[in-house]
């Protein structure tokens, strides 16, 4: 009986060690992807901030007459939901999908026709199984943000908004805060709401009055498409960086848990083996005394 127990424990230890090798490899792959994705995201942030600053200045000084700024009564709403194509990333997908599910149900309860733009297999499967309307989907991005993907998503939502298919477009994704923290967000993408927070007089006096060449209106029309595409790209970059961070953290925890389980099983195996040896010694001693 003891021999069978030791054999079973050895089998379990080998099985856990094999799993640990997999989780360790996945952790290293996720760490490499995180480093690349985070580097690209951080490199793009200064450009994004400056572009937003220029757009804010222009929006406050020009008469905006662009369909992307048109505020309409919301009869139809589109939610762009970003999650991963694969699992094994802890609570990352569930946190995003939980927020998206609540937002979509609230929109439907308000009487708006609501559809889902699914980016990631997990989003498509989650809402598809529950019978929600899927407007479009991308299940092949593979956790990599690129300008081509940003243009593809941006052009799709712009066309859907400008042709009147939807009156509002919102994006639900996970914002990257740190390697250990990712925060699900629900933000409005279209119509664009210019930041018109009025500065106080003292700040206004110190504001730099740029000389624009060409005119402010022409600059605005050129920068607006760039601004929107950049917003979409940065959203994808934040979401995918969060995914890699969550997966790396999850796999690191799984590797550590496997190590603890191996230690516990090894100790239990040693006890079983020691008990078997003690029992055999007692049998030998008892037999010798009987003779």
State how far the Cα of 13 lies from the Cα of 262, in Å rounded to an integer: 6
State how far the Cα of 216 lies from the Cα of 220, in Å rounded to an integer: 6
Tokens of 21: 């090798």
State how far the Cα of 11 lies from the Cα of 5, in Å rounded to an integer: 10
State how far the Cα of 84 lies from the Cα of 124, in Å rounded to an integer: 10
Strand 168-176 with 182-190, pairing: antiparallel
Catalytic residue among 9, 26, 31, 89: 89
CA torsion angle 128 129 130 133 (round to 10): 20
Query: 108 CB contacts (<8 Å, ≥6 apart)?
Result: 114
The DSSP result for 237-253, as a single string, is HHHHHHHHHHHHHHHHH
Residue 18 bears catalytic tag: no
Query: Which residues have a catalytic role annotated?
Result: 89
């Amino acid at each position: 009986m003891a021999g069978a127990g030791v054999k079973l424990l050895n089998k379990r230890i080998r099985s856990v060690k094999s799993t640990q090798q997999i989780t360790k490899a996945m952790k290293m792959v996720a760490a490499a992807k995180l480093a690349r994705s985070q580097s690209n995201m951080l490199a793009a942030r200064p450009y994004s901030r400056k572009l937003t600053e220029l757009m804010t200045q222009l929006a406050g000084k020009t008469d905006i007459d662009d369909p992307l700024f048109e505020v309409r009564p919301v009869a139809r709403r589109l939610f762009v939901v970003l999650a991963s194509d694969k699992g094994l990333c802890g609570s990352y997908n569930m946190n995003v999908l939980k927020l998206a599910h609540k937002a979509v149900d609230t929109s439907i309860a308000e009487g708006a026709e609501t559809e889902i733009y699914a980016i990631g297999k997990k989003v498509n499967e989650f809402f598809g199984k529950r019978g929600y309307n899927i407007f479009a989907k991308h299940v092949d991005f593979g956790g990599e943000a690129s300008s081509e993907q940003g243009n593809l998503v941006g052009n799709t939502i712009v066309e859907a908004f400008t042709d009147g298919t939807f009156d509002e477009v919102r994006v639900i994704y996970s914002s990257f805060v740190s390697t250990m923290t990712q925060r699900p967000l629900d933000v409005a993408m279209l119509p664009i709401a210019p930041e018109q927070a009025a500065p106080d007089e003292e700040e206004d006096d110190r504001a730099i009055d740029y000389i624009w060449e060409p005119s402010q209106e022409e600059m605005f029309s050129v920068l607006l498409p760039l601004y929107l595409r950049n917003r979409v790209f940065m959203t994808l970059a934040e979401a995918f960086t969060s995914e890699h961070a969550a997966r790396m953290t999850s796999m690191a925890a799984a590797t550590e848990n496997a190590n603890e389980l191996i230690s516990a099983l090894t100790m239990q195996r040693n006890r079983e083996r020691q008990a078997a040896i003690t029992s055999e010694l007692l049998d030998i001693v008892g037999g010798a005394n009987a003779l």
